[in-house]
């Protein structure tokens, strides 16, 4: 049996059956699911499955960490099981802030691959420019468009993921995003002032690269859709229900949710600008200190609005991605230390694969769950490395000029188009993180008892 199919079947045997799942999706390393009845969700049994790194209980659902093969496991589940998703779930969010973070993470997660690819293309473009590619060439123009498109059309990407999250029509959600980005309305937004819709005041806003307006709009749309479905006769539902939703949502979007969302975005931009003008070191220092916690809880994706605000207003990021220099390269250092110090073949094999993944792509969950949590003390070393990176970057004010998780393949994103020494400062942060974390892991040691003999002799080792 294919290993991914085997893993899918073992997971499904402990979740309470396909009927118990109300929502299922995935990010780069995690299956994210919501269940109707938590009492039949066998949390501890799922954690014991060979191939599952960990299970995290979050507001609104669970995250099953399986590593880089998560998309194949997800495909195996969806192809072999009928998931009857609905809005009914047995969980009640006691903390609105945590619910907000999980909602943002759920919405942003599926959009990350497109944004990461854009960052890699941006890094390639930077290298090509330094190699002599003319900025006036059509090749440069096309590559630049590819590197910027996911950001410019961010309302389109998040309209789709928001629609999937709130279970409304993705096509109608994309319709609304298309209105937001229609060239004539973009021109009116750039000109500023007020326009009108049947006499209703419409604040002209340029919604390109925005996040909050479309998310707020689709959130309202799921209530409007429920209202229209309740009163629309079945005989004419196919045509009149979508028409009714759009006739209600277009004025709400242009007159209320869009401008309010833009206003919230403007407040966030003012906060970002104030922090960078007065305490530029504070944000990166705080985020560095809590970066491992953000990844463990899966809430790092919820900070995407901060990242977008930085790139939109500053042209670079000096906070979240800079903090993740420490997070990502610390996991390479932990893996390297475990690889060289451990005497267990299974542990060495796991450390090699997780370290390579963290170093090349910046994907840290395999090392974080597969090594740090199982071996205990390397998690302490991770925090030490992240804090060391935060202090260094706060003092040197390292920046990143294109989106991309800090890793070997995206180092070119630290090259300043204006020609400063930022790239070398970033290399210093990478080196410091690796050295400090490696030494801390080596000195603190680790408990190998979690890797039993069967891990190395009788079965394939757990790895992502």
Distances in Å between the Cα of 381 and the Cα atoms of 162, 305, 451 are 37, 29, 20
Q: Say if residue 219's pLDDT is above 50.
A: yes
Residue 140: pLDDT band (50, 70, 90) is very high
Residue 182: pLDDT band (50, 70, 90) is very high
- For residues 308 and 461, the model is more confident at 308
Residue 273: pLDDT band (50, 70, 90) is confident
pLDDT value for 447: 78
What does the pLDDT average to over 352-367? 90
Share of the chain above pLDDT 90, in %: 40
pLDDT value for 310: 83
d(CA 2, CA 401) in angstroms, rounded, equals: 42
pLDDT value for 385: 97
Residue 271: pLDDT band (50, 70, 90) is confident
The distance in angstroms from the start CA to the end CA of the chain is: 18
- For residues 236 and 75, the model is more confident at 75
pLDDT value for 315: 85
Q: Residues, the chain, total? A: 464
Q: Which of 193-202, 258-267, 357-366, 419-428 has the highest mean pLDDT?
A: 419-428
Share of the chain above pLDDT 70, in %: 92
Buried b (16+ CB within 10 A) or exposed e, 369-404: bbbbbbbebbbebbbbbbbbbbbbbbebebbbbbbb
pLDDT value for 450: 58
d(CA 149, CA 431) in angstroms, rounded, equals: 33
pLDDT value for 60: 62
Q: Say if residue 94's pLDDT is above 70.
A: no
pTM of the complete model:
0.74
pLDDT value for 404: 82
Q: Say if residue 1's pLDDT is above 70.
A: no
Q: Say if residue 163's pLDDT is above 50.
A: yes
pLDDT value for 458: 41
Q: Say if residue 308's pLDDT is above 50.
A: yes
- For residues 276 and 33, the model is more confident at 33
Q: Say if residue 372's pLDDT is above 60.
A: yes
- Number of Cβ within a 10 Å radius of residue 125: 21
| C-alpha angle 65-105-412 in degrees, rounded to nearest 5 | 85
- For residues 295 and 170, the model is more confident at 170
Q: What is the mean pLDDT of the chain?
A: 86
Cβ neighbourhood burial of 133 (10 Å; 0-12, 13-18, 19+): middle
pLDDT value for 381: 96
Residue 59: pLDDT band (50, 70, 90) is low
Residue pLDDT, tens place only, 392-414 = 999 999 999 988 889 998 899 99
d(CA 368, CA 386) in angstroms, rounded, equals: 13
Half-sphere exposure of 392 (CA within 13 A, CB side): 24
Buried b (16+ CB within 10 A) or exposed e, 218-240: bbbbbebbeebeeebeeeeeeee
Distances in Å between the Cα of 83 and the Cα atoms of 26, 154, 170, 225, 339 are 14, 29, 18, 22, 40
Q: Say if residue 430's pLDDT is above 60.
A: yes
d(CA 436, CA 60) in angstroms, rounded, equals: 37
């Amino acid at each position: 049996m294919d290993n991914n199919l085997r893993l899918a079947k073992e997971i499904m045997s402990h979740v309470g059956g396909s009927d118990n799942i109300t929502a299922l999706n995935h990010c780069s390393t995690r299956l994210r699911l919501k269940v109707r009845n938590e009492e039949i969700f066998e949390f501890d049994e799922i954690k014991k499955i060979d191939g599952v790194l960990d299970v995290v209980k979050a507001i609104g659902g669970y995250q099953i960490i399986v590593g880089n093969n998560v998309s194949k496991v997800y495909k195996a589940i969806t192809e072999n099981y009928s998931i009857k998703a609905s809005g009914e779930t047995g969980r009640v969010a006691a903390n609105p802030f945590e619910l907000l973070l999980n909602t943002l993470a759920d919405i942003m997660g599926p959009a990350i691959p497109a944004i990461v690819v854009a960052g890699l293309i941006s890094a390639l473009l930077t290298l090509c420019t330094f190699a002599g590619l003319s900025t006036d060439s059509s090749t440069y123009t096309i590559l630049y468009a590819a590197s910027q498109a996911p950001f410019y059309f961010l309302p389109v990407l998040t309209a789709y993921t928001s629609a999937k999250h709130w279970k409304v029509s993705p096509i109608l959600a994309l319709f609304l995003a298309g209105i937001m980005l229609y060239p004539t309305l973009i021109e009116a937004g750039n000109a500023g002032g007020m326009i009108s819709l049947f006499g209703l005041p419409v604040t002209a806003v340029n919604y390109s690269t925005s996040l909050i307006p479309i998310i707020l709009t689709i959130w309202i749309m799921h209530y409007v859709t429920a209202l229209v479905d309740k009163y629309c006769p079945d005989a004419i539902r196919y045509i009149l229900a979508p028409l009714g939703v759009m006739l209600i949502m277009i004025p709400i979007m242009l007159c209320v949710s869009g401008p309010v969302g833009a206003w919230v975005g403007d407040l966030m931009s003012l906060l970002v600008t104030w922090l960078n003008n007065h305490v530029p070191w504070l944000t990166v220092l705080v985020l560095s200190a809590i970066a491992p916690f953000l990844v463990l809880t899966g809430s790092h994706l919820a900070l995407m609005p901060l990242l977008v605000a930085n790139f939109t207003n500053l042209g670079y990021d000096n906070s979240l991605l800079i903090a993740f220099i420490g997070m990502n390269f610390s996991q390479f250092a932990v893996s390297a230390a475990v690889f060289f110090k451990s005497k267990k073949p299974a542990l060495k094999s796991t450390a090699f694969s997780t370290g390579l993944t963290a170093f090349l792509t910046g994907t840290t969950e395999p090392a974080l769950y597969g090594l740090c949590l199982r071996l205990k003390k390397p998690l302490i070393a991770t925090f030490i490395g992240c804090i060391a990176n935060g202090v260094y970057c706060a003092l040197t004010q390292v920046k990143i000029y294109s989106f991309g998780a800090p890793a070997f393949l995206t180092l070119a994103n630290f090259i300043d188009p204006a020609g400063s020494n930022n790239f070398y400062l970033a290399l210093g942060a990478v080196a410091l993180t690796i050295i400090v974390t490696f030494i801390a892991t080596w000195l603190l040691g680790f408990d190998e008892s979690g890797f039993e003999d069967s891990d190395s002799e009788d079965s394939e080792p757990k790895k992502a």
